[in-house]
Each structure stands twice: as C-alpha cells, then as structure tokens.
Amino acid sequence: MEKNNRVIIEDGVRLHHVKIQISGNDNTIIIGRNCSIQDTIFAMEEDHNSVTLGAGTTTTGGVVFSAIEGSKIIVGNDGMISRDVWFFTGDGHGM
C-alpha cells in the first residue's frame, strides 16, 4: 500500500487533461503558482522521487515527467515546454 505521497498544486494553476500515476512511497509533485499544464503525464515508480514545476511554467501537450529510483526533476520558473517532450530519470529498467 502506497503512503506519504503528495501532490501540491499552488494558486492560479490551470490543469487540462493531466494524468498522475504514483507507485511507491514518499513521492512528491509540486506545481507552482500560475502554471498552465496541458495534456501532460506525471509518473513515479518506487520511493523518494519528486517533480517540481516552478511558477509560471507551461506545457503544450504530449509532455511526460517520469521519475524513478529516488530521483528529481526540477523545472525552474517560467519554463516553457513544447509539445512531445519527455523527461525520464531512468532507462525503464527498475531496480
């Protein structure tokens, strides 16, 4: 049973067709204020992963954030991520 997973969505965030998949414990997703996130997948496997999107970040669709094996993905403030960009912290072969 998964526990201690958190999704933090700050003020002014717009989400459209967002999917969140978390398998493991102590994982965190933070979406900073005034982000506009569209057609995006957040996926985490195993424990102690995090994805942080800074304030004002935008995605335009087909974006994937996949954190595994205790890793972090950090996008700074006002990040502009174009269509079909995938961020992976592993090679798909878990421990």
Averaged over successive runs of 10 residues, the pLDDT of the chain (95 residues) comes to 94 98 97 98 97 97 96 98 96 61
pLDDT at residue number 29: 98
Q: Rounded to the nearest 5 degrees, what angle is found at the Cα of 34, between the Cα atoms of 28 and 36?
A: 80
**φ/ψ (deg, to 5) at 79:** -65, 135
| Cα 53 → chain centroid | 7
Q: At which residue do the structure tokens 């506009």 appear?
A: 36
Give the number of residues written for the chain: 95
Beta strands per DSSP E along 46-76: 50-53, 58-59, 63-68, 72-75
Note the pTM of the prediction, 2 decimals: 0.93
